[in-house]
Amino acid sequence: MKFFIDTADVKEIAAATELGLVDGVTTNPSLVAKSGRDFHDVLKEIISLVDGPISAEVVATDAAAMIKEAEVLAKLDPEKIVIKLPLTEEGLKATKALSQKGFKTNLTLIFSPLQALLAAKAGATYVSPFVGRLDDVGHEGMECVEQIRTIFDNYGYGTEIIVASVRSPQHVLQAGMIGADICTIPYSVMLQLAKHPLTDIGLEKFLADWQKHVAK
Ligand code: G3P
């Protein structure tokens, strides 16, 4: 399973890259706003740090304006930049046009398997179901991912599934069990993945035993 990091904080991206955990990056307008920086400046820095797909989201809401924004964003790095678009009718229109022109797209704010199916039919490169936000309203976020996996496999869609709105290691585990292609993970959750109390206890004991041995 590929790991993307879900952040616009370049320090987090650099730290996760050092751990060997970054196959790509996803950003969204809220994450860019949180960084407090100019969107294009942030993207340029991420491009210099990461050798993989980088999702940059449009903020226009009509297809023609989305396409214009996409063209400007993709110029920053046509290979790495993936245009992130909301799963709306206008977003689907823009996705179809952009995919025909060879742009990579990531359809975001997906909350149902049928929305994901529409994205795949429009030619999306990626779909991003938001599992945490579904859980927040009493649904089973991962059930949506499971259904998308089944539909894509049934019909051989090449659109990759990015499990997004990841809140815990449990989401990452379930994404792997379902066979999602990618998990986009906040840096804090990436760090949690490495932690296990038995690892810490075990290491402490190994080192204590070693000290006793060398002291003999
Ligand atoms: O990048 C989109 C998604 O991962 C947002 O997550 O935690 O704001 O629901 P969250």
Q: Is the Cβ–Cβ distance between 66 and 38 less than 8 Å?
A: no
106 lines ligand 1 (CB under 6 A): no
User: Per-residue pLDDT tens for 148-168?
Assistant: 999 999 999 999 999 999 999
User: Per-residue pLDDT tens for 8-20?
Assistant: 999 999 999 999 9
Nearest residue by C-alpha to atom 4 in ligand 1: 165
Q: How far is the CA of 172 from the centre of ligand 1 (A)?
A: 14
Q: How far is the CA of 185 from the centre of ligand 1 (A)?
A: 9
Residues acting as catalytic residues: 84
Q: How far is the CA of 71 from the centre of ligand 1 (A)?
A: 24
* CA-to-CA separations, 40 to 71, 90, 102, 145, 162, in angstroms, rounded: 13, 24, 22, 31, 23
Nearest residue by C-alpha to atom 6 in ligand 1: 165
Nearest residue by C-alpha to atom 5 in ligand 1: 165
pTM > 0.85: yes or no: yes
Q: Is the Cβ–Cβ distance between 212 and 32 less than 8 Å?
A: no
User: Per-residue pLDDT tens for 97-153?
Assistant: 999 999 999 999 999 999 999 999 999 999 999 999 999 999 999 999 999 999 999
Q: How far apart are CA 5 and CA 17, in angstroms?
A: 9
DSSP at 88: S
Q: For domain 2-215, give its CATH number from 1.10.10.60, 1.20.58.1610, 3.20.20.70, 3.30.2130.10.
A: 3.20.20.70
